[in-house]
Structure 1
Amino acid sequence: MPRLVHDRLTWLIYAQLGVWGFFLYGFGPVVPLLRDEQQTTAAVASLHSTALAVGALIGGFSFARLTARIGRARTLWLALAGVAGGVLALCLLRPIAATLTAVVVLSTFGIILVSSVNVALAEHHGAASSAAISEANAACAGMGVLAPIVIGLSVDAGTGWRPALAVQAGLIALVALAAVAFRIRVPQGAPAVPAAAETRPGRLPRSYWIAWALMGVTGSIEVCLSLWTADVLRSHAGMTPGAASATVASIVAGMFLGRVVGGRIALRVAPIPLLLGALAVSTVGFAVFWAATAGWLAVTGLVIVGFGNAMHYPLAISIALAVAGDQADRAAGYSSYSMAVGFGIAPVLLGAVADGVGPHRAFLLLPVFIAVAAVLAARLGRSIRLRPAPAPAPA
């Protein structure tokens, strides 16, 4: 059985992804509040998700090129600086064109950050990378639990969502100070090389592209829940805007628990059976949430949904990187394109349907996404047989 070693570098990488989680899971509850401020329809407000998709495309295109020129360590810190700048811009600007632009910037650097973290953990932990990536995403979800709560409290206190979201920049500064204080260096990884020296990479295997599609579908599930759950809670469970925004944290709380537990299970259970089990849990949780008219029952369903969703992305990306072999940077960059598809299409589709039939009925799209993800996971299981790499030596 592979062994997961928690050295100082691992904890730093967890923290770097964790601060991204504050924005990633805090932004969903902000979208309905932005819609109220900017007086737009649900479909127009969902363009902020399209902006996430555009940024994901730019970030995915840029990642491998940046690492080839400045190395992974500098790329990672550049990404964190870009996220901090994007958050401050989003909090300071109010017109919809400006907020959309800020979200593009945030998503661009956020995707570069996520790609850097995934590749660093995959290389550092080898056969235990599924568990490491799961735990890193648990840190991301752990910070994400706080964000909706802080935003909801800030809204109910009358100060709005902007001061709460701006906390992100301070968290990034604290992580940078900790890295300096404890003298933790991220491995530079790929050396800087001139463009003329780059060779044409080989083709990624078919199994990678199945995993790629799987990430797009499961990403659609997660982003739709993040962006539109607050609206369903307001319209179907009778919650106030502040309470609905804070309650979105229950999804992330479930994801945090699921990733902590799932990281341990991933050391013992093969990825595909674990992924199919996670999709089944998501289905049960969604059914409870969708049928609930009482707030406490809706929250219960959301925690279960989050628990199931927890392992979708960590398992899919770890499989994708494993089958990519020595093309990890390229595979990580391309994976962001699948997330862009999920971010850009699914929430806009759901928003357009919600304008016609209401957000509650529109949410019936999510079981369809779950079913498609299950079919892809089964197909992926038939197309690959992952061979564990030797466990890394303790650092």
Structure 2
Amino acid sequence: MYVQLALWVYFLYGFGPVAPLLRDEFHVSRTLTSLHGTAFAAGGVFGGAVLPMLTRRLGRHRLIWGGLGLVCLAAIGMFAAHHIALTLACALLGSLGGSMAVNAINAAITDHHGTAAPAAISEANAAAAGVGVIAPLIVGATFAAGWGWRSGLVLVVLPVLAVAWYARTAAVRPPEPARPNGAHAPHRPLPRTFPLALASLFATGSIEICLTLWGSDVLRDHAHVSAGVATAAVSTLIAGMVLGRLLGSRLVLLFRPTRTLLAALAVTLAGFALFWVATQAALAMAGLVVAGLGMGLHYPLGIGLALAHSDGQPDLAAARASFAVGIAFAVAPFALGALADRVGPHSAFLLVPAFALLSALAIARLDRLTLAPRAG
């Protein structure tokens, strides 16, 4: 399941920093280019809507591999697409597949690890982000070499095929949802603390998509680096996320997830401040590393809290979480792109601390209402 998650993350982080390249290629505005984030959001929201039904009909095993199959089709489509309408369609398809796979994976990890699920989810996302580090490097390298960014993105198909072959021959399958007495139990209302976890997921998802999708544009505009270097430099953000998740998988065993997430938000803001004020590439990339340290814990802790506050319904909670993340992917990059067309990308990036404040308020309220379950 860790490897399956990593394959989706390669596609996600490989495509993230190419938005400025698409803007240059198609000669369109940042607002129009940011619709790729909206397409990713639409796929995630639709995936979340159909996930409970698909889980009941297909099971997690087929759902995960079907989702990764759609990711491969999206990568192949991106390779052949040279019109913005086609790249938007491929972003939608890839996001739908990724939503199907990642939500089934998170629910399966939760069932498999029980009370240690927040640590396991953080560890899984650390492994995935480790693969995600190389995605912008490969995409940036193929672009700089004259092969185009599409060549780096489509490489994801080969490991998906290899891992699918191994899983089939070794008969590796994820745990399936429990079916009491052979039937599907009706969904119960989710606890009143659950919306607070969703609010935080929306805010932290907005931070992540803004920095991965438009961070390279700020590097080009404010730190004056080349397009190829700026695209590859997003790997510094992801490298920080890998380290943050590795540390976080241990910290969450010692401290309450809510308090750990609040500390992570503070680290993210410190790194963002350095990135935002820096006019030299090295300082700006150092800021991305520090921001990544905090960001690395945002999603794993957020989804872990959502699943922990699901009243024993992880598949339903994972589906609802897709809506929060999907809306973030729709609203945040479009708002930032539209604002950047008016005031420039550097000033527009002040939306990031606003999203961090929203997440902090939601998590502080959740911390006061209830003690989050300890992992371990």
Task: Verify same fold: TM over 0.5.
Answer: yes
Aligned pairs (5 A) from 1:151-300: 151-189=139-177, 200-300=186-286
Alpha-carbon shift at residue 178 of structure 1 (Å): 2.6
Alpha-carbon shift at residue 34 of structure 1 (Å): 1.1
Mean CA deviation greater in 242-251 or 77-86: 77-86
Alpha-carbon shift at residue 373 of structure 1 (Å): 1.0
Q: Which residue of 2 aligns with 1:378?
A: 364
Write out per-residue CA displacement over residues 184-240 of structure 1, whole angstroms, 9 at most, x where no aligned residue.
22223356999xx76642211111111011100000000000110010000111100
Aligned pairs (5 A) from 1:1-395: 13-189=1-177, 200-388=186-374
The CA distance in 2 between the partners of 1:284 and 1:174, in whole Å, is 40
Alpha-carbon shift at residue 324 of structure 1 (Å): 0.6
Amino acid of the structure 1 residue aligned with 2:188: G
Mean CA deviation greater in 115-124 or 29-38: 29-38
The answer to whether the 8 A contact 1:35-1:45 is kept is yes
The CA distance in 2 between the partners of 1:128 and 1:176, in whole Å, is 27
Alpha-carbon shift at residue 388 of structure 1 (Å): 4.6
Mean CA deviation greater in 140-149 or 184-193: 184-193
Amino acid of the structure 2 residue aligned with 1:244: A
The answer to whether the 8 A contact 1:351-1:359 is kept is yes
Task: Give the gaps of 5 or more residues in structure 1.
Answer: 1-12
The CA distance in 2 between the partners of 1:387 and 1:295, in whole Å, is 41
The answer to whether the 8 A contact 1:287-1:301 is kept is yes
The CA distance in 1 between the partners of 2:361 and 2:171, in whole Å, is 46
Paired residues, number: 376
Mean CA deviation greater in 115-124 or 172-181: 172-181
The CA distance in 2 between the partners of 1:169 and 1:64, in whole Å, is 27
Alpha-carbon shift at residue 387 of structure 1 (Å): 3.9
C-alpha change, 1:32 and 1:311, in structure 2 (3 Å) is: same
What SS class does the counterpart of residue 94 from structure 1 fall into? Answer: coil
The answer to whether the 8 A contact 1:52-1:340 is kept is yes
Write out per-residue CA displacement over residues 9-64 of structure 1, whole angstroms, 9 at most, x where no aligned residue.
xxxx1000001111111111111111111111000000000001110111101111
The CA distance in 2 between the partners of 1:187 and 1:380, in whole Å, is 30
C-alpha change, 1:317 and 1:33, in structure 2 (3 Å) is: same
The CA distance in 2 between the partners of 1:308 and 1:73, in whole Å, is 32
Amino acid of the structure 2 residue aligned with 1:212: L
TM-score by length of 1: 0.92
What SS class does the counterpart of residue 239 from structure 1 fall into? Answer: coil
Q: Which residue of 2 aligns with 1:5?
A: none
Amino acid of the structure 2 residue aligned with 1:284: A
Alpha-carbon shift at residue 385 of structure 1 (Å): 2.2
The answer to whether the 8 A contact 2:255-2:374 is kept is no
Amino acid of the structure 1 residue aligned with 2:307: L
The answer to whether the 8 A contact 1:69-1:192 is kept is no
The CA distance in 2 between the partners of 1:239 and 1:147, in whole Å, is 19
The answer to whether the 8 A contact 2:256-2:373 is kept is no
What SS class does the counterpart of residue 159 from structure 1 fall into? Answer: coil
Task: Give the gaps of 5 or more residues in structure 2.
Answer: none
The CA distance in 2 between the partners of 1:201 and 1:239, in whole Å, is 52
TM-score by length of 2: 0.97
The CA distance in 2 between the partners of 1:18 and 1:183, in whole Å, is 20
Alpha-carbon shift at residue 318 of structure 1 (Å): 0.8
Mean CA deviation greater in 76-85 or 241-250: 76-85
The CA distance in 2 between the partners of 1:227 and 1:138, in whole Å, is 20
Percent identity for Structure 1 against Structure 2: 45
What SS class does the counterpart of residue 28 from structure 2 fall into? Answer: coil
Tell me the C-alpha RMSD between the 2 structures.
1.7
Q: Which residue of 2 aligns with 1:8?
A: none
The answer to whether the 8 A contact 1:68-1:193 is kept is no
